[in-house]
């Protein structure tokens, strides 16, 4: 996908995702030093971040390139300067842009006006970089993707959107349990169903967490209240009270099921502390894999070093 944007996980196909996962595994073992020597990544953030900023900055450093962080105060997207103007200026200086924005439209406008690849590092609609790290983690822990069952319990948010699409693309059965009024968007669901029809995956939407988790290989949850929704926090705690991933709910999954969360977690809300700290939890491996998945993505986008294969079975 050299020179292409990643605004949605659906900008990738099944083969793209497999290649990125395998390259990420190789780079995790081998490094990829100087693959992107002389390349510059601009990080344009409207929202604060721990994992996204650190993983992208370290990815570029380890690949021999550089990352330039641009805070909301410095850029003021759409306020201090128009989004098209920011895009047209930055692409004269840098080789790739990663944007973490409130509105998905902002990322789309950046991509429309920039002559360099643009990565959606989180928007209100999708979080494709998280989905790549999630699939990498599942593949590492389970040795496969196709035919597994992933249960997502909670808000049908940006993480759920990208994960649903990624699962459908790669043949993972995806079940999501959300309260009425907090479901995934209809057009995302329809797109996922179209992908699932081609991959053989099954998509199930329910309001019952027990139905979603029963027999699942992966149990996934995310915060009930995302950034920008703080005014709704108390109401959301009331509505989502029955959607906590706790030991009772997890007991319905397969005995070897893994627990995933993109972090940051609100311990005691969407996930019980003992579950997050259990041997089934892979959340910190998942967080580390943001680095490796993004290294593979950046090299693929910018046409860097070819990664030697570790296995003849690739």
Positions in the chain short of pLDDT 50: 305, 307-314
Beta bridge partners of 219: 151, 259
What is residue 77's predicted lDDT score, i.e. its pLDDT? 83
Same domain, 190 and 159: yes
Domain boundaries, position 105: 9-127+290-302
What is the per-residue pLDDT for 306? Answer: 52
- Answer yes or no: do 224 and 182 share one domain: yes
Looking at the structure, tell me whether residues 165 and 188 fall in a common domain: yes
Whether residue 1 lies inside any domain: the answer is: no
pLDDT digits (tens, 9 = 90+) for 179-210: 999 999 999 999 999 999 999 999 999 999 99
Residues 157 and 118 in one domain: no
Its pTM stands at: 0.94
96 and 213 part of one domain: no
Q: Are residues 159 and 246 in the same domain?
A: yes
Q: What is the total count of domains within the chain?
A: 2
Is 220 a member of any domain? yes
Q: Are 251 and 168 members of one domain?
A: yes
CATH number at residue 155: 3.40.50.1370
Residues 138, 266 within the same domain: yes
Directed axis angle between helix 14-30 and helix 158-170, to 10°? 100
| Together in a domain, 202 and 262 | yes
Residue 312: the pLDDT is 39
43 with 180, same domain?
no
Residue 145 lies in a domain: yes
155 and 99 part of one domain: no
294 in the same domain as 252: no
């Amino acid at each position: 996908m050299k020179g292409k944007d990643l605004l949605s996980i659906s900008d990738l196909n099944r083969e793209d995702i497999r290649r990125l996962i395998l390259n990420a595994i190789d780079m995790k073992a081998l490094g990829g030093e100087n693959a992107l020597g002389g390349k510059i990544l601009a990080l344009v953030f409207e929202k604060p971040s721990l994992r996204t900023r650190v993983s992208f900055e370290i990815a570029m450093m380890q690949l021999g390139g550089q990352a330039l962080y641009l805070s909301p105060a410095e850029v003021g997207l759409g306020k201090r300067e128009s989004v098209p103007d920011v895009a047209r200026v930055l692409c004269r200086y840098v080789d790739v842009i990663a944007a973490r924005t409130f509105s998905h439209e902002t990322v789309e406008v950046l991509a429309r006006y920039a002559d360099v690849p643009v990565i959606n590092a989180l928007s209100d609609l999708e979080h494709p970089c998280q989905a790549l790290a999630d699939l990498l983690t599942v593949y590492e822990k389970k040795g496969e993707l196709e035919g597994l069952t992933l249960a997502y319990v909670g808000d049908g948010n940006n993480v759920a959107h990208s994960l649903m699409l990624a699962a459908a693309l790669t043949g993972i059965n995806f079940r999501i349990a959300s309260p009425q009024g907090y479901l995934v968007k209809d057009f995302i669901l329809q797109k996922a169903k179209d992908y699932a029809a081609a991959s053989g995956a099954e998509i199930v939407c329910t309001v019952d967490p027990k139905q979603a988790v029963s027999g699942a290989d992966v149990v996934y949850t995310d915060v009930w209240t995302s950034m920008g929704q703080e005014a709704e926090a108390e109401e959301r705690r009331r509505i989502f009270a029955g959607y906590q991933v706790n030991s009772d709910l997890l007991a319905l999954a397969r005995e070897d099921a893994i627990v995933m969360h993109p972090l940051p977690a609100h311990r005691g809300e969407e996930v019980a502390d003992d579950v997050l700290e259990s041997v089934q939890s892979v959340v910190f491996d998942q967080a580390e894999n943001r680095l490796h998945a993004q290294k593979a993505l950046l090299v693929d986008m910018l046409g860097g070093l070819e990664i030697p294969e570790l296995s003849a079975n690739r």
